[in-house]
C-alpha cells in the first residue's frame, strides 16, 4: 500500500486550493528566490569542482523544494540537523552564501576551519548542526535535542533531513523508536530521491514507501510531492505544529529526484536510465513554483528572470570572495580536538612548527575519487 501523495501544485499547473497554504506574498517570493539561489549555488559549485578549484561537491539540483519548503515551515529558534544534500536549509535560515563557499574551499573563513570535506557545513548562529558523512547518525542526535528541549520546556522543534538509503541504517530505526517512545518534538524529513548512489529504492526496502515505516514506530508518516514546495511546506508545518503541541514526531517523505550525479565523482549513467532525467526535468520544482507565482500575479516573468540574474551574480561574487581567502593556519590542525590543548598535542604542534622551518610539505594528494 502506498499512501496518497500530497500535492498542492500539480504538474499540469492545477492548484489544490484546499491545501494551498495561506502564506504572505513576501514569504512566497522569498521561497522562490531561495530555491533559485540554491540552484545557482549548486551549479556554480559543480563548475568549480569541474575546473579543479574545489575538491568535491554534492549537488542538490532538483531537490530545492524539499529543502526550502521544509526550512520555511520552521522558526529561527527551531533546530536543524541536515544531511549533505541540503544547502537550502542553511540559506533559508540565514547562513551567508560566502560561508557555504568558504566551506567548499576549506579556507580560513570556513566555520568548520577547513577540517571537513566540502558540503559539510555548520552554522551554530542559525541552529544548524554540523554535518557528518556517516549516514543517519544525525537522527538519534536530533531526537536527543528534541528530548532536551522538552525537558527544558522550550517550545522548539527539531528537523532532521536524510535520504531514502538512510532509512536502512540502524540509526534511522533507533532514532524513530526513541522519538516515538519519548514523543519527541522532531520532524524526520526524508528526501526520497529514489537512489542511494546506485542502489534503487526497491533494493533498499521491501516497504511500499518510506512514510509507512512511521506506523511501526507509533507516529504518523506522510508522503508529499517533493518537487512541490507548497506541499513540502504544508506537510512540515503540520508536523512541526503537532510536535510543538506535544503530540510527538512525524515522518515526512518527500518524493523527489536528484537531477545530477550523487556527487562530483559519480556517473549516474551507469545505473539510471537517462530518459528518467528528461522526465523529471519536466517536474522541475523551481519552474513549477515560479509558474504558480507568475500565474497568480505575485511576480512578473521579468522579476523571475532578475531573480536568476541576482542568484548568478551573488554566487559568482561569493565564490570569488571565498577563493581569495588563504587556507587555515597549521596551528588550527591541533585546535578544537579538546577544549584545551593537552601536552602531547602541544608537543606535536611544536615539532611540526620546528620541522616547517626547514621547508613545507608539498600537497601531493589525489583528487577525491568518489
Partner 1 sequence: MAILTVLQAVNAALKQEMRRDDRVVVLGEDVGKNGGVFRATEGLYDEFGSDRVLDTPLAESGIIGTAIGMALYGLRPVPEIQFLDFIYPAFDQIVNELAKFRYRSGGQYPAPVVIRSPYGGGIRGGHYHSQSSEAYFAHTPGLKVVIPSTPYDAKGLLASAIRDEDPVLFLEPKRIYRTVKAEVPDTEYTVPIGVARIAREGRSCSIFCYGAMVHVALEAAEKAKEKGTEVEVVDLRSLVPLDEEAVLASVRKTGRAVVLYEAPRTGGFGAEISALIAERALEYLEAPIVRVAGFDTPFPYTLEHVYMPDARRVLAAVDRVMNF
Catalytic residues: 258, 262, 271
Q: Which of residues 121-150 bind partner 1 (CB under 8 A)?
A: 132-135
Nearest-angstrom CA–CA distance, 253 and 222: 6
Shortest spacing between CB 231 and Mg ion, in angstroms: 19
CB of 62 to ligand TPP, least distance (A): 11
Residue 242 grid cell: 503537532
Residue 241, C-beta contacts closer than 8 angstroms, at least 6 positions apart: none
Q: Which does 85 bind (CB under 5 to 8 A by kind): ligand TPP, Mg ion, partner 1, none?
A: ligand TPP
Residues 6 or more apart whose Cβ sits within 8 Å of residue 284: 62, 227, 259
Residues that bind ligand TPP (CB under 6 A): 85, 133-135, 162-166, 193, 195-197, 262
* Cβ atoms 250, 221 nearer than 8 A: yes
Q: Strand 199-200 to strand 5-6: parallel, antiparallel, or no bridges (unpaired)?
A: unpaired
Max distance between CA atoms of the chain, in angstroms, equals: 72
163 binds Mg ion (CB under 5 A): yes
| Binding positions for partner 1, 201-230, rule CB under 8 A | 203-205
- Per the structure block, which three cell numbers stand in for 367? 583528487
Cβ–Cβ contacts within 10 Å for residue 30, how many?
A: 15
Residue 327 contact, options Mg ion, partner 1, ligand TPP, none, Cβ 5-8 Å cut-off depending on partner type: partner 1
Identify any residues that bridge with 190 across adjacent strands, giving them in sequence order. Answer: 162, 253
Between 252 and 319, name the residue whose CB sits nearer to ligand TPP. 252
Judged by phi (left if over 0) then psi (alpha if -120 to 50, else beta), residue 19 lies in alpha
Cα 350–chain centre separation: 39
| Beta strand 195-196 pairing with 186-192 | unpaired
- Per CB under 8 A, 170 contacts partner 1: yes
Binding partner selected for residue 352 from Mg ion, partner 1, ligand TPP, none, CB under the kind-specific 5 to 8 Å limit: partner 1
Identity of the residue, 143 or 196, whose beta carbon is nearer to Mg ion in the bound complex: 196
Q: Binding partner of residue 107 among ligand TPP, partner 1, Mg ion, none, CB under 5 to 8 Å per kind?
A: partner 1
- For partner 1, the binding residues in 25-64 under the rule CB under 8 A are 55-56
Rule CB under 5 A: is residue 193 a binding residue for Mg ion?
yes
Question: Closest CB to partner 1 among 108 and 294?
Answer: 108
**String of b and e for 273-296 (b: at least 16 CB within 10 Å)?**
eeeebeebeebbbbebbbebbbee
C-alpha cell at 10: 500539480
Nearer to partner 1, 25 or 276 (CB): 276
Count of other CB atoms within 10 angstroms of residue 132: 15
Q: Grid coordinates representing 278? A: 528528461
Residue of 47, 130, 141, 168 that binds partner 1 (CB under 8 A): 168
- What's the min distance (Å) between Cβ of 166 and ligand TPP? 4
Q: How far is the CB of 298 from ligand TPP (least distance, A)?
A: 31
Cβ-based nearer residue to ligand TPP, 161 or 248? 161
Cα–Cα nearest to 367, from 56, 104, 133: 56
Does 339 contact partner 1 by CB under 8 A? Answer: no
Binding site for Mg ion (CB under 5 A): 163-165, 193, 196
Binding site for partner 1 (CB under 8 A): 55-56, 106-107, 114-117, 120, 132-135, 165-166, 168-171, 196-199, 203-205, 265-266, 270-271, 327-328, 330, 332-334, 337, 344-345, 348, 352, 355, 358-370
Amino acid at each position: 500500500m502506498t499512501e496518497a501523495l500530497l500535492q498542492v501544485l500539480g504538474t499540469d499547473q492545477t492548484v489544490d486550493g484546499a491545501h494551498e497554504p495561506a502564506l504572505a506574498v513576501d514569504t512566497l517570493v522569498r521561497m522562490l528566490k531561495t530555491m533559485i539561489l540554491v540552484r545557482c549555488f549548486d551549479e556554480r559549485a559543480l563548475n568549480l569542482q569541474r575546473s579543479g578549484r574545489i575538491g568535491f561537491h554534492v549537488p542538490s539540483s532538483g531537490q530545492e523544494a524539499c529543502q526550502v519548503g521544509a526550512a520555511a515551515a520552521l522558526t529561527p529558534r527551531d533546530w536543524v540537523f541536515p544531511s549533505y544534500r541540503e544547502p537550502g536549509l542553511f540559506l533559508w535560515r540565514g547562513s551567508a552564501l560566502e560561508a557555504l563557499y568558504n566551506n567548499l574551499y576549506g579556507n580560513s573563513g570556513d566555520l568548520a576551519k577547513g577540517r571537513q570535506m566540502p558540503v559539510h557545513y555548520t552554522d551554530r548562529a542559525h541552529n544548524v548542526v554540523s554535518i557528518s558523512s556517516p549516514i543517519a547518525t544525525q537522527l538519534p542526535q536530533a531526537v536527543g535535542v528534541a528530548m532536551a528541549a522538552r525537558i527544558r520546556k522550550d517550545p522548539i522543534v527539531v528537523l532532521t533531513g536524510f535520504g531514502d538509503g538512510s532509512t536502512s541504517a540502524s540509526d534511522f530505526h533507533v532514532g524513530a523508536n526513541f522519538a516515538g517512545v519519548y514523543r519527541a518534538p522532531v520532524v524526520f524529513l526524508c528526501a526520497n530521491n529514489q537512489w542511494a548512489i546506485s542502489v534503487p529504492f526497491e533494493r533498499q526496502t521491501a516497504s511500499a514507501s518510506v512514510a509507512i515505516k512511521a506506523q511501526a514506530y507509533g507516529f504518523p508518516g506522510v508522503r508529499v510531492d517533493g518537487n512541490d514546495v507548497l506541499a513540502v511546506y504544508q506537510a512540515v508545518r503540520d508536523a512541526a505544529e503537532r510536535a510543538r503541541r506535544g503530540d510527538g514526531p512525524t515522518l515526512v517523505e518527500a518524493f523527489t529526484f536528484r537531477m545530477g550525479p550523487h556527487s562530483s565523482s559519480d556517473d549516474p549513467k551507469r545505473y539510471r536510465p537517462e530518459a528518467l532525467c528528461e522526465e523529471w526535468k519536466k517536474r522541475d520544482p523551481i519552474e513549477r513554483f515560479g509558474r504558480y507565482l507568475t500565474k497568480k500575479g505575485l511576480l512578473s516573468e521579468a522579476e523571475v528572470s532578475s531573480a536568476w540574474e541576482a542568484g548568478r551574480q551573488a554566487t559568482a561574487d561569493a565564490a570569488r570572495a571565498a577563493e581569495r581567502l588563504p587556507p587555515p593556519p597549521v596551528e588550527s590542525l591541533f585546535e578544537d580536538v579538546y577544549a584545551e590543548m593537552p601536552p602531547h598535542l602541544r608537543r606535536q604542534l611544536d615539532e611540526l612548527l620546528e620541522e616547517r622551518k626547514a621547508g613545507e610539505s608539498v600537497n601531493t594528494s589525489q583528487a577525491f575519487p568518489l
